[in-house]
Amino acid sequence: MEKQILFAGVLLLSLLLAGCLPANGTQEIPSPALQKQSSSKDKNALIIATGDMSGVYFSLGQAMADMYEKYNGAASATQITSASIQNARLTSQKKVELGFASVDVLDRETQKPEDADSRTKLRALTGLYANYVHIVTTEKSGIRSLKDLSGKRISLGSNESGTKLIAERTLLSAGLTKNDIHKYFFSFSQSADALRNGTIDAAFFSSGLPNPEIATLAAQLPITLIPIPKEIVDRLHEQYGFYMERDIPRETYGMKRNIETLAVKNVLLTYRDLPKQEAYELVDTLYTHLPELQQIHPAARDIKLTDAKTGIPLDFHPGAVKYFTEHEIIH
């Protein structure tokens, strides 16, 4: 019951504040303890770039901010963003101390010529849980497969989000070009609202399980999750290397069967110049108090120390390396 209350509380906060994001795409949300501070510009300030308020990045980011406030004495806050792409840029520019990102976005951003110095400025603290691709539509839409998306109104996720990147890649692998659909770039909450009122026919969500907006939508009206066949996942894995074949369990959203889809790992980013001891302590606090994160959102159950270094296309911060070495995490 306690877990349900905590999760519901995060969802309620998302619904209450969904319309509050400024035009620049960011909004800073202090932890409860930070609201008592006179200023967030303290030398121990810690800002975590998250994502849409209805997404898992935000839920876990808020929980991390509270943990770092409690155990590390850091004046912590989260910053609402459009997610992975913006988070990587904010972190590399040292405008935030930590940021969530999916590894496919991280790889693309650090390979782009215009962001050539991002790889030298960014460091990984730890691998996290996986994002699962959800293609959500209403049951009455009649959409049952990727091919059925042709000619439809589709939300591909926010600009500068990992959802947009993975949605575009999935559609291309299924043989659908940008001219085959009517594209919208909505946040998770906007996509859910647009599905409710019929503005769009389907929407992509790349998120940990469960996604609060999809869970709420499924409780309000009959929805369908479109499967992503194994051959599409295999094609994407062969081309990019980061994508994994996964199933969304049927009980996640009250479906009749498991939904085959693809998933991609997330990583917690920081910048190169963060002091080694501070980075070490951040990783130590995360894993020491991981059960607290798992109480906030079930996706955190997939964060495992043994997998912390697996599949991350970026150098780890020396402070993180020290922690993993002490715990004999080699690969």
Domains annotated on the chain, with CATH: 2-129+265-326 (3.40.190.10), 131-264 (3.40.190.10)
- Shortest CA distance to 122 belongs to which of 145, 144, 98? 98
The DSSP result for 43-92, as a single string, is TTEEEEE---TTSHHHHHHHHHHHHHHHHH--EEEEEE-S-HHHHHHHHH
pLDDT attached to residue 160: 86
Task: Write out pLDDT tens, residues 220-246.
Answer: 999 999 999 999 999 999 999 999 999
pLDDT attached to residue 223: 98
Phi, psi dihedral angles at 22 (to 5 degrees): -65, 170
Q: How many CB atoms lie within 10 A of CB 144?
A: 12
**The model's pTM:** 0.86
pLDDT attached to residue 29: 62
pLDDT attached to residue 110: 82
253 exposure class (CB count in 10 Å sphere: 0-12, 13-18, 19+): buried
- Shortest CA distance to 31 belongs to which of 18, 15, 44? 44
Q: Look up residue 300 and give its amino acid.
A: A
pLDDT attached to residue 38: 31
pLDDT attached to residue 115: 61
Task: Write out pLDDT tens, residues 194-203.
Answer: 999 999 999 9
Residue 249: DSSP 8-state: -
pLDDT attached to residue 42: 57
The Cα 315–Cα 120 span in angstroms is 9
The Cα 120–Cα 117 span in angstroms is 5
pLDDT attached to residue 116: 61
Question: Which string of b and e fits 110-123 if b means at least 16 CB within 10 Å?
Answer: beeeebeebbebbb
Low-confidence ranges of the chain (pLDDT < 70): 1-43, 113-118, 331
Phi, psi dihedral angles at 165 (to 5 degrees): -65, -50
Q: How many CB atoms lie within 10 A of CB 236?
A: 24
The Cα 113–Cα 117 span in angstroms is 9
Instruction: Look at the block and give the residue holding tokens 């405008």.
Output: 95
